[in-house]
Structure 1
Amino acid sequence: MSLKRTLALAAVTAVAISSLAACAPQVDDKKSGDQTGVDLTKITVNKDAAAQVPAEVSKAGKIIIGVDPTYAPNEFKDKNGKPIGWEVDLMNAAAKKLGLETEYRVAKFDNIVPSILGEKYDLGIGGYYDSKMRQETMDIIDFFKAGNQFASPKDKPITEELQVCGMKVGAQNGGSAILDYLPTVQKKCDAAGKGKIEILGYDTQDEQTAALTLGRADAMVSDSPVTSYAVKLSKGKLIGSPIYDEVLSGAIVKKDRGEFAEALRAAVQDLSDDGTYAKLLQYWGVEQGAIDKITINAATK
């Protein structure tokens, strides 16, 4: 997660998360590592990658993962309070590739990085955007691209950014879309001689989505995983736009933990090559953010 999600997090409240969770795909929460509709039981160990895991992690037999489960569909809680979501599923699958289990430690987002630096956690997930600043202390395993994405009624698709000029667009109060992105788009509208965007601010994601489905807004904009998930839950009523201002994102590990980041990168790349990665993203409705090549610290700014 970048400063972008930090701004948006205040707006994605518990009300919105509970609403999304109630409509989430049904999952099997009986066992760690089996919390998805995609079969992970046939995953085979990548021995070369497993050999790169730090000795203390291999000895423990598990990866301890810090997670703030308040950001559906990346990570949120099921009815029993267990963390679920597409990043959770992907880390469960990657751990299997390394011959390991996963153990999730629920924490506030701001506490995850200090806990990784203090080696209380081995890894952190939370929609972390890759950046040069973050790379100073962390290795980021880049397995996704995210950005701003609009949703609109299916019969009125948004295929280019300036279509929203003159529209009523819903966005979350306090979030980066309303504070930064839409004002930037408005400047582009002005330069092109197009109309003014009427920004409608909402306190929660569910209110924002409801306004769109009820016709009170012409479109809405959120971080792409959130928008994609809302589109999936709309059962065909909404359609997502292309993703704008894309950046790489992924999981974070402490920078000086040997070849741990490379082990994880290789594990996720294997999952991409065998199709598991694509199935997981499609299951959660976030396949637009898929990338072909899994990298480490690939951001250039």
Structure 2
Amino acid sequence: MACGTHIKVLILLPAVALAGLTAACGAGGNGSGGAAATSGSSAAAAPVPAVAKDDRLAALVPAAVAADGKVTVGQDQTYPPNEFVDEGGKVVGFDVDLGNAIGQKLGLTFEYQNADFSGILAGLAADKYELAMSSFSVNAERLQTVDMVSYYKAGTSLGVLKGNPANLTPDTLCGKNLAVQKGTVQVDDATKRSEKCTQEGKPAINIQQFQAQTDVNLQLTTRRSDAMLADSPVVDYAVTQTNGQVEVVGQPYDTAPYGVALKKGNGTFSQAVQGAVQALIDDGTYGKILAKWHLSTAGAVTKSDINPAG
């Protein structure tokens, strides 16, 4: 992530729903708060048509990866609508549907393992995962350690309570409680903004970091934070899932591609994944997945790249 970033994919809950939070540490439930979850629940129930295997792309998958017919995927499943656990305990979301379709193109099954977002890339480096797909924003720091295949573009959005009672903008957060998910680009953004506050003689931002995005969301809805920063699709989803309890301030900023992360030096695996993403864009499957999760077409890409500029 925005969650990135996860620039990381969000669900906001009343306090009584805390036990049902989908947390990076493995708690169950989708954290949507009951009746407010209707759009997410119906989307999760709608299947995406299977796609045919592409033998040419499948041949690019390294033998060590293809041998068991599956790909182990590291993912933080607290970031709806991109990756989360639904009411039935099933892992769903935009990244999940797209990942499954990539796997089908390559003749492989994607198996998703839940993890704290901040530790996923380290797990990839340690061969705990063969691939990571969890709303990772492409940036120069990440490209030093992994290859990334682009598949969507998202920005950072500021989420506040309905009506924006504190009249906040991204530039007026000095002295405020700001919730963010650990390991995301939003942490870096908030840190820079806080440093600017103190340089101008204003109080620092109280940056509240949490392992799970669902905990970030809860901070806002229970008024323990004045605002939150998260990827634009995640904040947009919060608005729909809470019947407008949350609103977005202004437009997304610092837009960057999401990327599937793969270990460097792994043969032609990156080329196989990039080719699969491009094929899904070209055959219309990608557009169907975007529509299913109500993701903005403004973030859609027409060309998937390996290690694009962030």
Q: TM-score, normalised by structure 1?
A: 0.71
Compute the displacement of 1:52 (Å): 0.7
Letter in 1 for 2:156: N
Indicate the residue corresponding to 2:199 in structure 1: none
Compute the displacement of 1:172 (Å): 2.3
Compute the displacement of 1:111 (Å): 3.6
CA 1:112–1:154 in structure 2 vs 1: closer, same or farther (change >3 Å)? closer
Compute the displacement of 1:248 (Å): 1.5
Compute the displacement of 1:21 (Å): 7.3
Q: Return the match for 2:304 from 270, 273, 294.
A: 294
Question: Is the aligned partner of 1:118 residue 2:118?
Answer: no
Compute the displacement of 1:141 (Å): 1.0
**Distance in 2, Cα, partners of 1:271 & 1:8:** 22
Indicate the residue corresponding to 1:51 in structure 2: 59
Letter in 2 for 1:272: I
RMSD: 4.3
**Distance in 2, Cα, partners of 1:99 & 1:129:** 26
**Distance in 2, Cα, partners of 1:84 & 1:104:** 10
Indicate the residue corresponding to 1:193 in structure 2: none
CA 1:90–1:118 in structure 2 vs 1: closer, same or farther (change >3 Å)? same
Alignment size in residue pairs: 276
Q: For 1:218-260, what per-residue CA distance to the aligned partner results, in whole angstroms no more than 9, with x for missing partners?
A: x975321211211332557877553211112221111111111
* Further displaced range: 70-79 or 106-115: 106-115
Unaligned 5+ segments in structure 2 are 23-29, 197-201, 209-214
Indicate the residue corresponding to 2:283 in structure 1: 274
SS in 2 for 1:249: strand
**Distance in 2, Cα, partners of 1:8 & 1:266:** 23
Unaligned 5+ segments in structure 1 are 29-34, 188-195, 212-216
Does the CA contact (< 8 Å) of 1:149 and 1:242 recur in 2? yes
**Distance in 2, Cα, partners of 1:3 & 1:173:** 9
Identity %: 33
Does the CA contact (< 8 Å) of 1:170 and 1:208 recur in 2? no
CA 1:256–1:27 in structure 2 vs 1: closer, same or farther (change >3 Å)? farther
Q: For 1:116-138, what per-residue CA distance to the aligned partner results, in whole angstroms no more than 9, with x for missing partners?
A: 22333210122212122222221
Letter in 2 for 1:63: V
Q: Greater RCO between the two (CA within 8 Å, min separation 6)?
A: 2
Q: For 1:77-129, what per-residue CA distance to the aligned partner results, in whole angstroms no more than 9, with x for missing partners?
A: 22343322211111011111112112122233344223322333210122212
CA 1:19–1:107 in structure 2 vs 1: closer, same or farther (change >3 Å)? closer
CA 1:280–1:239 in structure 2 vs 1: closer, same or farther (change >3 Å)? farther
